[in-house]
Amino acid sequence: MSAGLNLAQLQAVHYTDGACLVLAGAGSGKTRVITMKIAHMIEKGMDPRRIAAITFTNKAASEMRERAKGLIGRRAKDVLICTFHALGVRMVREDGHVLGLKPQFSILDADDVTGILKEASGGTTDMATARQWQWVISKWKNMGLTSEQALAQAADDNERIIATLMARYEERLAAYQSVDFDDLIGMPLRLLRDFPEVRAKWQAALGHVLVDEYQDTNATQYELLKLLVGEKGHFTAVGDDDQSIYGWRGATLDNLKKLPVDYPHLKVIKLEQNYRSTSAILRAANNVIGPNPKLFPKTLFSELGEGEPVRVVDADNEEHEAERAVARIQSLRAEGTLAQTGAQHKEFRDFAILYRANHQAKPFEKALRKANIPYKVSGGQSFFDRAEIRDLCAWFRLWANNDDDPAFLRAVTTPKRGIGHTTLGTLGVYASQYKLSLFEALFSSSLGAALSTKALGSLHEFGRYVNDLEFRARHTEGADNATAFLREWLKEIDYEKHLHDGEESEKVAAAKWTNVLEFCDWMAARCGGQIEDVAGVTERELKSLLEVSQTIALLSTISEREKDQNVVTLSTLHASKGLEWPHVLLVGVTEGMLPFKMGDGADSLGGSSKADEAANEDMATRLQEERRLMYVGITRAQRSLAVSWTRRRKKGRELVTALPSRFI
């Protein structure tokens, strides 16, 4: 089972006696180590149901499941392999009743949260301010603070206002029987901390917990892990302090510092052999990360040979830089074709162009289009994540399943129809009391005792309308009929006006409306017997709109199929983490971009006051994180790496002189 592992990997796989920290350098085979360790524990007799492996993304969880299945077959399905949030959902579904939550609670997305906060302020604020409140509340929740605690330690009037809003927000979530993403970590923590019987149950259920990307955990996740594993501390944390790039999201390296203190017998194992990159690429990576202070010093090495030197390319401006990038891709592909060997042939999918911020993609998109080179932009917003598409999906989900409470809450308030949070709060309490879904509760004979005649009338009108839509959708087949039905429905609910009312910019509202029409055409095409490939299923038969609505859940799998495309990838450095390509072009590496906005004397601040010292410390911390971001970019490359910078770059509408990044 352990064939082909190096000495450090073997050590990591076989150590199961207590707390273990595996420092896995980039490309050092960490996923392999985690899955091998799961297999090893099962071989040694541990029940697969007592093993949990926690990852940060659904993609990582799904990859780990596949690998585990390849190693141990059917037993892999009993291992709990999921994200922190999915584990949170499971815990709250099983034990949330002790916090007064029903098992069918709703999970609100970021847009729902912004809307509730805007409404909690009396509807007087704009979306941008509501989003800023959301960030602050999220930060407080990740620190484990309630609204009362946040208010007690508020530093100024602004924080006091936000803490007061947080209290109103918490009230609304309780009334709606809903949670947000931060609650999916915070609530399990409360369950384990405040309810000894729940803690005992979960500690008994889990014999060993493995955490991937440990450097990305925040303070709440660390406390959750501690309570899950208990004093015996049977866990394996796998991470790399050099790849911690999510400080802005609450991730903290303090979690790595705390481990040896909280677990004095912690076994630390370093994986320093890299199986991805050539020595030339790794030398560049080690040189860039070198100046950062080290919690656990390590140096990556490779046995894949020296490889070609890292190229540093300069350009006059962003357009020139994009032209040079395209020329490099064409030249490397031509070499591959001339070599006439399968191993040397370079496909479009072998290339990635990586940059610090989304707006840097534009000139590269133009240059690739001009050269007829296919590409995809990764790390941007998925079409199905857009607010307007999610609005429509909520209505479709509600037609297909009346008991979908999150869909009900979104549909009933989008567009607004005079049903306010007080009415919905009363409905939520009533539904919870009688263990009904919100939609079922709406038609209950005794609901009238809890609501005014006007509020009850508005709810009944909405309920009848949804039933009517469901009936019509069930009997609508064929693309033309579906298109006519959807257009008529959008007109009935006045959705175009809703978009224009909610946006300050006419241009943005018009773009959203175009997305809506495009999505409706996509839905209609699926009713018309046109071939549509969803999750690997080819469908030809006529379908009713209701049947199509029931497959809405499969939509997210469309974007996951992108990996099969033979295209050049354009991606932000943050979104590239965990991925790799034979040939990487790291672009826009200038002072002010990478490191980001630090070109103004960040290294030479010399303050004497406490405020200056704090500012210096903050600047140094940010610079270290930017250096780690550059390191992540470099270590995505397997065979060749080109790093480019421009003498001038766009800042707003003007061109400003630029300098190569200090990291070069």
3-state secondary structure (DSSP) of residue 294: coil
**Helix, strand, or coil here: 663?**
coil
* Distance between CA atoms of residues 575 and 566, nearest Å: 19
Cβ atoms 252, 218 nearer than 8 A: yes
Contact call for residues 225 and 88 (beta carbons, < 8 A): no
CA 260/CA 269 separation, integer angstroms: 13
Neighbours of 329 (CB within 10 A): 24
What is the distance, to the nearest Å, from the Cα of residue 490 to the centroid of all Cα atoms in its chain?
A: 31
Nearby residues of 629 by Cβ (< 8 Å), 6 or more positions away: 245, 356, 573, 574, 594
Query: Are β-strands 654-657 and 648-651 bridged in parallel, bridged antiparallel, or unpaired?
Result: antiparallel
Are residues 345 and 576 in contact, defined by beta-carbon separation less than 8 angstroms?
no
CA nearest to 466, candidates 528, 414, 399, 531: 399
Give which of 460, 425, 419 is closest to 442, Cα–Cα: 460
**d(C-alpha 269, C-alpha 296), whole Å:** 10
Give the E-state strand segments of 415-517 in sequence order: none
State the DSSP code for 18: S
3-state secondary structure of 429: helix
Q: Say if CB 363 and CB 321 are below 8 A apart.
A: yes
Per the omega criterion (within 30 degrees of 0), is the bond before 415 cis? yes
Tell me the C-alpha distance between 127 and 504, whole Å.
Answer: 10
How is 158-190 classified by DSSP, letter by letter? HHHHHHHHHHHHHHHHHHHTEE-TTHHHHHHHH
- Which residue bears the tokens 């697969």? 48
Residue whose tokens read 């005649």: 453
Q: Are strands 273-274 and 581-586 parallel, antiparallel or unpaired?
A: unpaired
In degrees and rounded to multiples of 5, residue 494 shows phi and psi of 60, 45
Catalytic annotation, residues: 30-31, 212-213, 243, 636
**Helix 196-205 with 84-95: angle, nearest 10 deg:** 130
3-state SS assignment for residue 283: helix
Q: Residue 539 is inside which H or E element, if any?
A: strand 537-539
| Rounded distance between C-alpha atoms, residue 511 and residue 405, angstroms | 29
**Eight-state DSSP code of residue 310:** P
* Chain length of the chain: 664
Residue spans of alpha helices (H) in 275-401: 279-289, 318-339, 361-370, 387-400
CB 632 within 8 A of CB 245: yes
Residue 470, H or E segment? helix 453-474
Q: Which residues contact 13 (CB under 8 A, 6 or more apart)?
A: 2, 5, 33, 36, 37, 40
Is-contact 524 486, C-beta < 8 A? yes
Q: Is the separation of the CB atoms in 280 and 306 below 8 Å?
A: yes
Radius of gyration of the chain (CA): 27
| Pairing label, strands 581-586, 375-378 | unpaired
Single-letter code of the amino acid located at 31: T
